[in-house]
Structures are given as C-alpha cells and as structure tokens.
Chain A
Amino acid sequence: MLVGNPNTGKSTVFNRLTGFRQRVGNYPGVTVEKHSGMLAVDDPAVQIELIDLPGAYSLAAGAEDETIVAELLLARQAQAVRPDLIVCILDASNLRRNLFFATQVLELGVPVIVALNMLDVTRRRGLEIDIDALAEELGTLVVPVVATRGEGIDKLKTAIAESIDLVAPTRCPSFPDCVCAEVDGLCQSLGLSGSLEQCAGQRSEALQSLLSPGGYHETRLVERCGRGLAEELIERRGRITAAGESLVEVEARVRYAWIDRVVERVVRTNSPPGPSKTQRADALLTHRIFGTAILAAIMLFCFQAIYTWAGPLMDVIDGAFVSLASGVSALLPEGPLQSLLADGIIAGVGAVLIFLPQILVLFLFIAILEDCGYMARAAFLLDRWMSLVGLGGKAFIPLLSSYACAIPGILATRTIENRSDRFVTILIAPLMSCSARLPVYVLLISAFVPPIMLAGGWVSLQAVTLLGMYLVGTLVAIGVAFVLKRTAFRGPAQSFLMELPTYRWPVPRVVLYRAYEQGKEFVVTAGTIIFAVTVVIWALAYYPRPQTIATNHDAMRAQADAEYANAVAASAEKVGAEGLREPERKPEVAAALAAIRAEEASFESEVLAAEIEASSEEWAEVRRAADAKMSAIAEKYGDDGMAALELFRAETKLAEQLTEIDHLEEGAYFRQSFLAHMGRWIEPVVRPLGWDWRIGTAVLASFPAREVIIATMGTIYNLGGEQDETSQLLREKLHRAKWPSGERIFTLPVALSIMVFFALCCQCGATLAVIRRETQSWRWPVITFVYMTTLAYVGALATFQIATRLAA
C-alpha cells in the first residue's frame, strides 16, 4: 500500500511503479477512488499488487479521504486483514510535517519502506538530508526518489520486491504514561491479547478513538463493540485530562518533539532559506485583487478553450454517428431493428459522446490546475464568495465545470471533504446551464426573440435573453443552496482549512492519464444509462405501428411514382422513348443531364454556405437564378437538353416528394405512438405553461437527455428527426403551428416558458446516474429530480403567466 501526505507526488510514484497499468474502482460505501495495479517488474515470478491510498495528514481521519486510509490501515486489522508492506512517501522539502503521519504509520506493526520524494526541490532550497541517519532513526529502509523524473524508482521497485518479509519498525515516539495506561486499559476491555506487534493496529485505533471525541474511530469502535464503549471512552478521556494532558494536543506534542529531534539530526541547512519560488508566486497569485483577476482570466481561457478546441472534434463525432446511423439504416432492412439501432441506440449514445471532447478538455484543465497546485489557491481566493452562499471555496470548481456539463462537475465534488457541502454542491450542480441546453436556447431565441439592439446597438435582445437563461439557473442554484444549508444540511459552517502545496510543473503523462481515466468513466457511466433510457424512449416513440399509416403513405408513394412516370413519358415524346431509357440513352441527353447535375451540385454547396444566414426570400432568389442557369444549359442542347431538364426536374421532384412522405409517415407514426398519447394525456398539466400536447410530448421525450428535444420537434412537425438548432425550416414550422382555435401556439411567452423549464429541469439521465453513484443512494437522485422538476414547472408557469400579462 502506498500512503503519504497529500501533494507528496504519491500518484506519480504509483504510476511509475505500476507503469500506468492500474485499475480504478471505488472503495465500498464511499466515493473515494481506489487505484490499484501490479508492480511493474521484469521478473514474472514477482506478483505484487499495489494500492494507492488517498493522501492523508493523520490517521485521526478528519476528512473523507482520510477515513479510507484509516479504514484500510486500522479498522480492517480487527478482521486480521493487514497489508504486507506499506510504502510511505515523504516530501523531503517538508520533512517535519510529513514525518507526523509517518510516525503514525510506523506504529502499525507492518513493515514500512520510506520513499523520500522531491529531493531535487530540497536541494534547490539548500537543504541536505542524511538518508542513512533518517533510515536509522526511523528503523526502516529509506529510498530517495525524484518521481517526476523517474529517478530512484527502480531502486524502490527492487526494495519492494525484496522486502515483503521485512520486520516492522519499532522506533517510535512514546506517549505520556497517563495516555499509555488508558490505551492499554482500552485494549484490554476490547479483549485484545497477543504480542504488541500483532495488535499494534488496534492499539493505534484505541489511541485515536481516545483522542478524537466524536471522531471517526470512536464511531467505528462503538459500532463494533456497543454503546458501553462510548461511556468507557468518556471515562478514560476524563482521566487523561485530569492528569493535565490535552486530548487535542498530546499526540501532536509527543510526535513533533520526537520529529524535531530527528529532523535536527538528519537535515542540514546549507544556505539561509530565502522566500521560495512558491512564496513569491503566491505573493501575487493569492492577492485579493490581482490573484482574483488572474483566476478569472484562467477560467475564461479554460472555457474559451473548451468551446473552441472541442468544437471541431464534436463536429467529427457528430458526423461519424450520423454516417454510422445511415450506414446501419442502409444495411438493415426497414423495421424495428433498424430503427432501434439507428434512431435509438446510435443516436442516443452519440448524444452522449458528442460531449466527450468538451469533457476531456475540461478534465485536462482541472488535472493540470490540480497537479501544479493552483486549485488550492483558487479555493482559497473563492472561499469568501462561496461562503456567502454557505458553501466552501472548494465548491467553486465543480460548479463552474457544471456550466460545461454537470457530470464532470459532480465528479469533481470529490475534493470537498465536508459531506454536507459536498451533497449541496451535487444537488445544485445540475442547475448550472450546461452546454446541452444551449441548442434549445439557440433555436427558440433565434425564432422568437426579435433581434432588437439595446443600449445603443451594443447588445442585442437575443444575447440578453441568452444571458438571462444562464442567470436563471445560477440564481436559482444560489437560492437552493441557501435553503438547503439552512434546512436539510444545517450545521456549523466548515471553516476553511487547506494546505497550499508547493507549486510544481505538472507531469504531462500523469495529467493526460488522469484526464483519460475520467473521460473513460464518463463514457461508461453516462453511456450505460443513456443506452438503457434511450431504448425505452425509442420504444415509446416507435410503437404501436398501425398498418393503416403504412398503407396510406405507400399509396402516396405510389402516386408520386406514377407522376414521375407520367413526366418521363411526356419528355420522352421529344426524343423518343429509347433516347431516355438507359442503357440506350442518347449521348446528347446524357451529356445535358450531367451538365445540369453539375450546375445543381455547385448551387447546393452555395446554398449550404449561405443557408444559416440567408432569409427565405434570399434563398428563393438564389434558387431562381440557379433554375435560369439550368434552363440556359438545357437550351444549348436543343430538344435533347429540354428532355434532360424535364427528366432532371421529375427526378428531383420525386426525391423531394419521397422524402416528404417519409417525414409525414414518421410524423404520423409518432403522433400515434405511446409517447404522443402520454403527451396528450398530460396536456391539461402543461396547458397553464402555454404548451400544447406536441410541446408536452417533446419535453417528455427529452427527460433522459434534454438535447433530443430538437430532433423530436423535427419529427413532430414532419421534418424528420435530423433537424438541428440552426434549421430554418424548423423555425418556420414552429412559427406556423396553431392551436385548434387558430391562434399561434409559439409566442414569445411560450418560448420563454419552455426555455425556463429547460433551464431548471433535470432532463439528464446520465447526471442522475452519476448522482446515484456518487452519493451511494437512490435518495439523492430522486430528490434532485423531484425538486428540479417542480422548480421547472413552477418557473415555467410563472414565466408564461407573467409574460402573457405583460404582453397583453
């Protein structure tokens, strides 16, 4: 097992020892990641599993990470599970503080190897460490390493491989008699017998339970041994205090006195220590004004990068999934299987994976900032502001990440030690406006918010509305946090307590590996749940398949085919039937047809480029010009040309009609589906929000993943499911949708009410799954879902009612 203080380069040492081959899991019952891997040595006979424990300052286990360490090193020993060997990593540049934890580890009755890391930093600071003297004082093997450069790692590997049957060290500080007597007494009443070495772990546990009233060890011990023990502990503590010892300080005093003696012997100062680089950097970086400004700049840069760097990759993924889906559609016969694969699974998984680039870039930044030590400064600077809401500074980064996607945000809450702070952060993270909401905002804002310029042409009303949507989520989140901290998660605010570690250059391999690891986790967690939910929603939207719809639309297709045949027959009169039909087609007709098609192709690309900006009038203008050109080309070939043009037009018309019929059929099926029935069924509920059943259905379908609403809208309005937020057609269709009474459905208040609903609702199955996993209970995802849905409904209701009154 690898143990050590936080920021001692433990993970780097671990990665070097295992050669990056490791498994990541979770410790049972808690959410701290467990990294384990085999020691990477050439000798296949050596099979040593290494476990990387979280960083800890003390076995007293004040933070969640530390409880894992305490659990594995102490409590498990009661069940006779103990590690064969502990590798304790010390930061040589801060030996004194690191030795505190080391002395606790030395007492566990388990062989220990000390890896002295960061000797390069130590030397630069003018400190010299006598390794042999340290080994002698600690009674262990001491291996000097520089983990960032891989120095000494081979030596450490050999030491680990060879020393499995080392004896446990015995040199450790001794406690005052009054404490020892109580520890002995407690051990007796716990029924411990055997040699000191055998029950060393239990003795440590007894000591920690005595010294931390109400702490983790007391709780565990009382759980195991019953209530009577709690009273005994109080009694024994009373005797220690009566002897004039402070429970809080005695351990620190005893250990640091011993450590100071060791440090004095082992460390030689060669040059007077001036302010270190870290101190000079912190003079600026923790400055209330400049530091905060730099932090803001860094965050701005990160977010800019998330959107710009990830953009092209997202297009690639999107394209890949679209072609995969159409490939599958082409390969498989039409029917449920094809639809399930193409529209359900591939589209659903694609909807998750499209966010992967953003998430990877975000994780990469978080990993870099964490690895270089800046994250602690950010928390330090932001604690003032976050405490206004009742949260600590560490909640800031997870919440900020949630603006890209709530899932990495929720994963990032693992750094928050305080349980109630962590849960509140998890609960409000999905309220941050994630990037999946953006397409919905873009579609509705561009369709319904007039592009009026405000403030003398500086900002548009559309931009203000978009900003407003982000604000809605944020303000509500602040309110929810405020309420939660005063109700369900009441309790004295945790006071800020965080080490600001020495700055260091991030190790690229470690940073990349961590980003990769978390990206993988996202894909697995989010992918699985989305996969499952997508199948359900797909089935609800696909079934039943009434035969009448197929019959009706097949009739329409037959009619289109007949029209095409008529048109071909009409143009055949010009050149004779043989002249048109392949393979005997006249070369002149073929040439004219090729020229016309080439013209059409160039026109298509022109339209594609202009489509997003061009209005429908401009679009028609371009279309007319293209038609004129085609006629000109056709005229050059005379009758052959005219025949080719007619043939071409008939072909185009047929293709258009068939697509339209497909969309109509798709829409007809959808309107018949279980999902649409559910949508009609809930219409009375969503009527007060200004929605009709179609909006209700689309919103229902978007509960597993909010971004599908646009595709669903496309299907409902017979445009096919492949619409995106920039689609002109969809915007126009939305404008034209009417209530049975003839009034327009989509008005500004309705658009606003939908957007507010999306801003506040937890329409993301993956987020709920991650909450379930991180909190280890179904309770919190259910609560999140219920409270957010309620808020969304109330918010949308208020928005629609107020906006309608204002408009009237």
Chain B
Amino acid sequence: MESSDRIHLSDAISRVCDLRAGETGIVVSVEDDAREAKRLADLGFARGAGVEMLRTGKPCLVRTGGTFVGLGERLQRAIRIQPVGNES
C-alpha cells in the first residue's frame, strides 16, 4: 500500500535515511553544512545521481553508480533525494 505511493516520481523531497531497502532515489542536493559534503559530492553523490538503498541502518549501505558506500546517520540525513518507485 505504501509502496504504491512511491511508484511515480514524488515531488516531496526526502533524505537517504527515508529510503527503505531496495528503494532508489535521485540526489537533489547535499547539505552544505555537512563537513563531509564535498567528499560525498566527489564520491558521486551529486545532483542527478541515483542512490539505491541496499541495507538500512546506522550506518546504511547504499549504491550509487558502481560504488557501494556505507553512510553514517548524519550523512544519510545530509543527502536530499527525490524518491523514485521501485523500478522492477
């Protein structure tokens, strides 16, 4: 039921930490005040990049492009995304 809400591109901006396992989002922005913001961006978490949540938690495991990255709690919140429905 909940997943049907997410089939279409949602306008609501959410964060990586709101993704559930298996869900994907598109990066909108990285919060500037996060100290590691530039590091995240350089790793590929830049506007337009897809982020797939593989395992939720603190830290969580996400994939962007061919890179698998573990993200701590604060960084999950620092990346704003637009959720897209499960593509399968």
Contact = CB atoms under 8 A, between A and B. Distances in A.
Interface of A: 57-58, 60, 62-63, 93-97, 100, 211-212, 215, 246-249, 251-253, 256, 278-279, 282, 286-288, 376, 379-380, 383-384, 387, 393, 492-501
Contact of B70 (A251, A279, A496): A496
Given A97-B44, A384-B58, 9 more contacts: A58-B38, A63-B39, A97-B43, A97-B65, A100-B44, A248-B37, A248-B38, A380-B70, A497-B71
Given A58-B42, A383-B59, A495 B68 contact: no
B74 A498 contact: no
A246 B29 CA distance: 9
Interface in B15-44: 29-30, 32, 34-44
30 contacts: A57-B39, A57-B43, A58-B39, A58-B42, A60-B38, A60-B39, A93-B66, A95-B66, A97-B43, A100-B44, A212-B38, A247-B32, A248-B32, A251-B38, A251-B42, A252-B42, A253-B47, A256-B44, A379-B70, A383-B58, A384-B57, A393-B59, A495-B59, A495-B75, A497-B39, A497-B40, A497-B70, A497-B71, A499-B70, A500-B68
Interface in B54-73: 54-55, 57-59, 61, 65-73
B47 A249 contact: yes
Nearest to A383: B59
A288 B57 contact: yes
A499 B69 contact: yes
A222 B9 CA distance: 45
B44 A62 contact: no
A249 B70 CA distance: 20
A383 B72 contact: yes
B16 to A, nearest CB: 12
Contacts of A95: 66
A233 to B, nearest CB: 15
A492 B75 CA distance: 13
Contacts of A376: 70
Q: Which of B42, B45, B75 has the most C-beta atoms of chain A within 10 angstroms of its own C-beta?
A: B42
A212 B39 CA distance: 10
Given A383-B59, A496-B59, A497-B36, A248 B69 contact: no
Contacts, number: 127
Contacts of A97: 43-44, 65-67
Contacts of B58: 383-384, 387, 496
B72 to A, nearest CB: 3
Contacts of B42: 57-58, 60, 62, 100, 251-252
Contacts of A286: 55, 61
Contacts of B32: 246-248
A95 B41 CA distance: 16
A168 to B, nearest CB: 22
A499 B67 contact: yes
B46 A252 contact: yes
Given A252-B46, A286-B55, A380-B59, A495 B67 contact: no
Contacts of A492: 35, 74
A58 B41 CA distance: 10
Nearest to A501: B68
A403 B60 CA distance: 29
Contacts of A211: 38
A495 B31 CA distance: 14
Contacts of A251: 38, 41-42
A67 to B, nearest CB: 13
A256 B36 contact: no
A240 B58 CA distance: 35
A248 B30 contact: yes
A54 to B, nearest CB: 15
A211 B37 CA distance: 11
B75 A500 contact: no
A494 B69 CA distance: 15
Contacts of B37: 248
A767 to B, nearest CB: 30
A397 to B, nearest CB: 15
B48 to A, nearest CB: 8
Nearest to A499: B69
Nearest to B36: A497
Contact of A62 (B36, B48, B72): B36
Contact of B54 (A247, A282, A387): A282
A466 B48 CA distance: 57
A60 B39 CA distance: 8
Nearest to A491: B35
Nearest to A62: B39
A249 B46 contact: yes
Contacts of A58: 38-39, 42-43
Q: Which of A379, A380, A494 has the most C-beta atoms of chain B within 10 angstroms of its own C-beta?
A: A380
Nearest to B32: A248
A94 to B, nearest CB: 4
B73 to A, nearest CB: 6
Given A100-B42, A256-B49, A496-B75, A249 B68 contact: no
A73 B6 CA distance: 46
Nearest to B64: A97
Nearest to A273: B66
B35 to A, nearest CB: 7
A249 B49 CA distance: 12
B50 to A, nearest CB: 12
Contact of B38 (A94, A215, A494, A500): A215
B75 A497 contact: yes
Nearest to B49: A256
8 residue pairs, one from A and one from B, having the closest CB atoms = A496-B72, A495-B72, A252-B46, A58-B42, A252-B41, A94-B66, A495-B74, A496-B59
Contacts of A379: 70
Nearest to B46: A252
Contact of B67 (A63, A94, A380): A94
Contacts of A287: 55
A633 to B, nearest CB: 75
A298 B42 CA distance: 34
A212 to B, nearest CB: 5
A63 B39 CA distance: 9
Nearest to A278: B68
Q: Which of A96, A248, A288 has the most C-beta atoms of chain B within 10 angstroms of its own C-beta?
A: A248
A495 B57 contact: no
Contacts of A57: 39, 42-43
A679 B84 CA distance: 74
Contacts of B70: 376, 379-380, 383, 496-500
Contacts of A93: 66
A93 B68 CA distance: 13
B76 to A, nearest CB: 8
Given A495-B74, A496-B59, A500-B69, A96 B38 contact: no
Contacts of A496: 58-59, 70-73, 75
Nearest to A260: B48
B69 A497 contact: yes
B81 to A, nearest CB: 14
A495 B44 contact: no
Contacts of A215: 38
A482 B42 CA distance: 32
Q: Which of A97, A494, A495 has the most C-beta atoms of chain B within 10 angstroms of its own C-beta?
A: A495
Contacts of B38: 58, 60, 62, 211-212, 215, 247-248, 251
Q: Which of A380, A497, A500 has the most C-beta atoms of chain B within 10 angstroms of its own C-beta?
A: A497
Contacts of A384: 57-59
A495 B73 contact: yes
A608 B61 CA distance: 58
